[in-house]
Structure 1
Amino acid sequence: MYAWRAVLRAVLLSGVFWAGSATASVYDHIYANGFEVPADAPASDAEAARFLTQATFGPTAAEIARLRAIGYAEWINEQLGMPTTLGRPFVEQVVAARTAAGQGVDQTQRYDRWFWTATYGQDQLRERMAWALSQIFVISDQNSAISGDVIPMAEYWDLLARDAFGSYRTLLGDVTYNPTMGKFLSHFRNQKPSATTSPDENYAREVMQLFSVGLILRDIDFTPLPGNIPTYDQTVITHTAKVFTGFTYGDAPVGSGAPNYSGANFYGGAITNAGSYAPMACWGTELFPASGTGSGNMRHDITGDDGTTNTPKTVLAGLTIPANQSCSADVGAELDIIAGHANVAPFISRQLIQRFVTSNPSPAYIQRVAQVFDDNGYTERGDLGAVLKAILLDPEARTLPTDPVLLANYGKLREPLLRLTAIWRAWDAQAQPANAYGEIKMSYTTNFLNSFGQRSLSAPTVFNFYEPDYQQPGYFAGNNLYSPELQITNESTTYSTTNTLYNFIQGGYLGMTNPPVDRPLLNLAPITSLTSNSVAMVGEANRRMMYGSMSPSMQSVLTSMLQFMSTASNNEKAWSLVYVIALSPEFAAQR
């Protein structure tokens, strides 16, 4: 055990937490290294594509060339400074056009925009970070409270994208005040205690268990502190729940029954006015009328322990929030305490490493990243942009292990959605023209939650599509290894994923007869032009889809397959080659 672990344990148990300014600005990433171009360019297209597989929704020829020209660090710096590709304004326009034409609106409009951004957006690193954050700070349209809120859910994605490179504390605050999160985890219109009721505890529990500190105290390298000490108990949850009371829509007019205010302009049960997605208001000291839409028992618990006496709230790490504070003061103090806890750095760092690089990062890898979380080099804590840069440039990310055992355990299963976007980007898929409502159709009306086991902001529960600690029975569990994505890979999804990829490859390429209008079309010309040379065809597909990592045996099998298809058309040979590669374990495994 490190010599300082005992000291850290004592600090945590004494209720002291790592201090971090709640309002400090994150250091400007663009100029962090001055104006000199770093000499860290990838040595080959393969190395560049491997990095881009980790950092984007899939490598493209143009991005590979750009990365090789400017190097890893500068590419990241460019991405850190790139503006956010927003989805909500676009979805609003589509919703308005469809509504005016008497057409229905559902989450499909949001999904299509998400796929377009993932495939064609220039801020690839930001959107990939938002994808990772959406699997930690989960909301889901599978929840009936928000299933019809198309525009508010598009805004939640934009929130994650805007905050992707900023301060963790800012992100935590924005998520907490977001009304869609409030509805999903029940702190929207959460009531203070009364003689017969208690505040809803959902958000109080999940903001600690899933968004910040986890269940047990940990070292900076994520190893549990001796004794598996819980980070909090039921008393902490009960007191924390009282903090998150008194929220309603941010545009609720004062004195008009604000806690129950529901805004205006609905369609199909989904609110479309800006107040439905703007940050919630904290109505902590308003005394609302007992009649009409107002309710005197729906305001913030400013009095503390039992709702009547002036006692403080005892929260995380044994710290207290004074009685008789306003709602915003209570919430701000609580979020400062949570964000400042020593567990946050290793807890968040480890999950981000899993989403970008490998399911089983070493303790040393986690520690190096967590140290950047604690201090980005400019005394800023929780700088997510710096954390992501540390993850991608770490030696464990850039260099494959040479030890055969370590290599076998390295990497991660490529998520099904990322396999699809990578195929589109590898083959320069052409987006469809916008239809009469301004929509650009991408998703082929596919239920990706059924076929892939995942879909943007559609996790079955607050625990995401899969859990970071999932261990598939057999090799992984037997060797105490984690395999998160395998939790949604089973007999059913393997079959449905195969069929879905077929629809997007065999059923979506340029030059086909009667091309569809509801999905991008792959440009397979780079391999249809090589059909007289099977080896060259496989080589080009290997370069585009597997950055030259295809094993000799797989190359041999694919070459034989193409030679066997001697009477097939050029297009059939091309899409068949892409399809078989897309189904292969070598493509599915990201290393």
Structure 2
Amino acid sequence: MDRRAFLRKNSAVVTAPATVVMEHIAPDPPTEPETVSRFANTALPSTARSTAGIAPYTGAWGFDQAAHLLRRTLFGPTRAEILTAAGRTPAQVVNDLLTVPPTPAPPVNVSATDTSVAIGQTWVTQAFDQNVESARRTSLRSWWLGQMLTQSLSLTEKMTLFWHNHFVIEFGDINDARHAYQYAALLRQHALGNIKQLAKDVTVNAAMLRYLNGNQSTAAAPNENYGRELLELFTVGKGPLIGPGNYTNYTEADVQAAARVLTGWRDNQANINSYYTASRHDTGTKVFSAAFGNGTITNGGDQEYKTLIDLIFSQPETARFLVRKLYRWFVYYVIDATTEQNVIEPLAQLLIQNGYNVAPVLRTLLLSEHFYDAVNMGCLIKSPLDFTLTVGRQLQITFPPATNAVAQYGMWDYLNSLTNLQQQLVGDPPNVAGWPAYWQTPQYYEMWINAVTLPRRNQFTDLMISTTGYTRNSFKINIDALALVQSLPSATAQDPNLLIGELARLLFPIQLTPAQLTFLNDVLLPGLPDFEWTDEWTQYLANPTNTAKRTAVNTKLQSLLRTMMGLAEYHLS
């Protein structure tokens, strides 16, 4: 099998005009050219996929397999984390990943304009103030990115972002950072927990009520926005179209019935919560279609929405829909008939058997022979968040400490600005369907790379490997190439080929070709024999304060890392 085939495009794909198929909702017009590369898929790949199922993986376990697991479950695993995982059993590592860490402290104020809250103190329970709303929203985004950057060995952060992409809101639309924080905290609370309970809680979450206009829904005028997205995007999915507005998994009448169930809920800005008003609720009987067994829901007051969620989650297709989204998040975007039969269906049944607790499904998937099949390793294109955070974590960039909240949040805000330029901003997916790279066929992940985003990625890595780096609030971040190499075993650091090999297995999820390794050797030592590196490195270690010797090795390492981060393989996970 050619593990590198997907890195190449055939001539038909290269010359064909790219088509954009929007399954859910049309995006805003692009503000820059080519937001979808003309090299992206114009049809789903026809390459045969894995026949492996969810039986436990029993193959080799070492650095490569541990790195694959952690690349998919963390934002940029460090070398130390991978080595530790490689020294444990797969089950032990997955147990660690499914351990819920302590709840993080809430975001704090770092803006001098928010005079109602001292610098370094939280604003999440303060009165709403439109004058400082933007500063608080920036604080929240920065804090959220900081949780990802400083993550423990837990799936919590990756799953919190997954649920954000699933139960979508947009911070800018709801215009209350306090509600947005409660929403983010809710996702983190249930990240590894019960999906049905999360669906119930998010349905009456104040931020969601605002985002999809549930706070305006009354018996006299039921608002269908949330009911429609609950069915189409959050739970059961459409299925094939069977009539005007009607799908296999729900009908237009089901949307209307769901909207009636959900009437009466409002958000409270003063108390920062949601509440139920009986006089605004439709007390009539709601009748659902044959897709839901012709079920009915009678008046249940403020508990009626829970009955609706129970009805939806009693449909087996809800489990399949959720498992497919998890699969595309952790494994690959192509779900062919074999994968549907061998992976999706048994995992969906497992989800149902476990009462919609997600941990057993994640455990089975991440320990399965399917997950470790070679075809599923290194085939995922890093999202902007994954790409940016991986640079920071794997290459050991030192960020400001918590004792300097202004500098710390300022640098996290800078990283958010970078991912925004790469077309992914935490807190603001482009619409209620989430980031298109996870659902838009046939491009999927390939949407992350285009004429706008690729230069932004390269500019960031070039800046980080430079001596200049980036400075904000008198704190500079960049990659310390010397410290990075000194953290490797001494025998590895002084041998150019061992050094390149060690960096390659950390930075790339698939093996480089002999020609690529030779090329990288020439980047490190242009036209020089291997022993030149050993001599220069040894001389530097013997006299690390000597500017000339330090510059000689640092310049070579910077050139090597800059080139490695510029390879196509560096964008894969």
Name the TM-score, length of structure 2 as normaliser: 0.73
Matches within 5 A, 1:287-298: 287=279
| Residue number in structure 2 paired with 1:282 | 276
For residue 397 of structure 1, give the secondary structure of its aligned residue in structure 2: coil
| Residue number in structure 2 paired with 1:478 | none
| Residue number in structure 2 paired with 1:162 | 189
User: Which residue among 460, 472, 484 is the counterpart of 1:526?
Assistant: 484
For residue 248 of structure 1, give the secondary structure of its aligned residue in structure 2: strand
Alpha-carbon distance in 2 for matches of 1:164, 1:326:
28
Alpha-carbon distance in 2 for matches of 1:42, 1:449:
36
Alpha-carbon distance in 1 for matches of 2:332, 2:394:
22
Q: Deviation of residue 519 (structure 1)?
A: 4.9
Alpha-carbon distance in 2 for matches of 1:508, 1:206:
47
**Structure 2 residue runs without a partner (length 5+):** 1-55, 120-131, 529-547
For residue 191 of structure 1, give the secondary structure of its aligned residue in structure 2: coil
| Residue number in structure 2 paired with 1:308 | none
User: Which residue among 374, 383, 393 is the counterpart of 2:367?
Assistant: 393
Matches within 5 A, 1:453-472: 453-471=423-441
| Residue number in structure 2 paired with 1:572 | 555
Alpha-carbon distance in 1 for matches of 2:468, 2:148:
18
State the one-letter code of the partner of 1:589: L
User: Which residue among 283, 288, 307 is the counterpart of 1:314?
Assistant: 288
Alpha-carbon distance in 2 for matches of 1:524, 1:107:
37
| Residue number in structure 2 paired with 1:584 | 567
| Residue number in structure 1 paired with 2:519 | 557
| Residue number in structure 2 paired with 1:485 | 445
Alpha-carbon distance in 2 for matches of 1:429, 1:233:
52
Contact in 2 for aligned 1:369/1:391 (Cα 8 Å): no
State the one-letter code of the partner of 1:60: T
For residue 151 of structure 1, give the secondary structure of its aligned residue in structure 2: helix
User: Which residue among 467, 471, 475 is the counterpart of 1:517?
Assistant: 475
Change (3 A) 1:468 1:330: same
| Residue number in structure 2 paired with 1:302 | 283
Q: Deviation of residue 565 (structure 1)?
A: 9.5
Contact in 1 for aligned 2:465/2:481 (Cα 8 Å): no
User: Which residue among 182, 190, 202 is the counterpart of 2:225?
Assistant: 202
For residue 208 of structure 2, give the secondary structure of its aligned residue in structure 1: helix
Alpha-carbon distance in 2 for matches of 1:39, 1:349:
19
Change (3 A) 1:384 1:503: same
**Structure 1 residue runs without a partner (length 5+):** 1-37, 219-223, 250-260, 264-274, 288-298, 304-310, 402-406, 472-481
Contact in 1 for aligned 2:170/2:429 (Cα 8 Å): yes
| Residue number in structure 2 paired with 1:175 | 202
| Residue number in structure 1 paired with 2:44 | none
Contact in 2 for aligned 1:452/1:493 (Cα 8 Å): yes
Q: Deviation of residue 98 (structure 1)?
A: 4.9
| Residue number in structure 2 paired with 1:499 | 459
Contact in 1 for aligned 2:96/2:154 (Cα 8 Å): no
After alignment, is 499-508 or 49-58 more displaced?
Answer: 499-508
Q: Deviation of residue 118 (structure 1)?
A: 1.3
Name the Cα RMSD after superposition: 3.5
Q: Deviation of residue 50 (structure 1)?
A: 1.5
Matched, 1:126 2:156: yes
Higher helix share: 2
Contact in 1 for aligned 2:72/2:330 (Cα 8 Å): yes
Q: Deviation of residue 360 (structure 1)?
A: 1.5
Change (3 A) 1:499 1:470: same
For residue 344 of structure 1, give the secondary structure of its aligned residue in structure 2: helix
Contact in 1 for aligned 2:235/2:318 (Cα 8 Å): yes
Structure with the bigger RCO (C-alpha within 8 Å, sep 6+) is: 2
Matches within 5 A, 1:355-366: 355-366=329-340
Contact in 2 for aligned 1:41/1:67 (Cα 8 Å): no
After alignment, is 499-508 or 392-401 more displaced?
Answer: 499-508
Matched, 1:337 2:311: yes
Matched, 1:430 2:457: no
- Deviation by residue 1:168-191 (Cα, 9 ceiling, x = unmatched): 111111211211111111112422
Alpha-carbon distance in 1 for matches of 2:508, 2:187:
29
Identity of aligned residues (%): 22
Matched, 1:326 2:300: yes
Contact in 1 for aligned 2:319/2:348 (Cα 8 Å): yes
| Residue number in structure 2 paired with 1:383 | 357
State the one-letter code of the partner of 1:62: A
User: Which residue among 126, 136, 144 is the counterpart of 1:114?
Assistant: 144
Matched, 1:372 2:351: no
Change (3 A) 1:82 1:562: same
Contact in 1 for aligned 2:388/2:415 (Cα 8 Å): no
Alpha-carbon distance in 2 for matches of 1:189, 1:520:
48
Change (3 A) 1:337 1:436: closer
Change (3 A) 1:61 1:212: same
Q: Deviation of residue 49 (structure 1)?
A: 0.9
- Deviation by residue 1:123-156 (Cα, 9 ceiling, x = unmatched): 531111112222111112242x33xx32332332
Alpha-carbon distance in 1 for matches of 2:419, 2:495:
39
State the one-letter code of the partner of 1:248: R
Contact in 2 for aligned 1:357/1:392 (Cα 8 Å): no
Alpha-carbon distance in 2 for matches of 1:438, 1:522:
19
Alpha-carbon distance in 1 for matches of 2:203, 2:248:
23
State the one-letter code of the partner of 1:544: L
Contact in 2 for aligned 1:358/1:412 (Cα 8 Å): yes
- Deviation by residue 1:467-493 (Cα, 9 ceiling, x = unmatched): 54434xxxxxxxxxx441222422112
Contact in 1 for aligned 2:218/2:281 (Cα 8 Å): yes
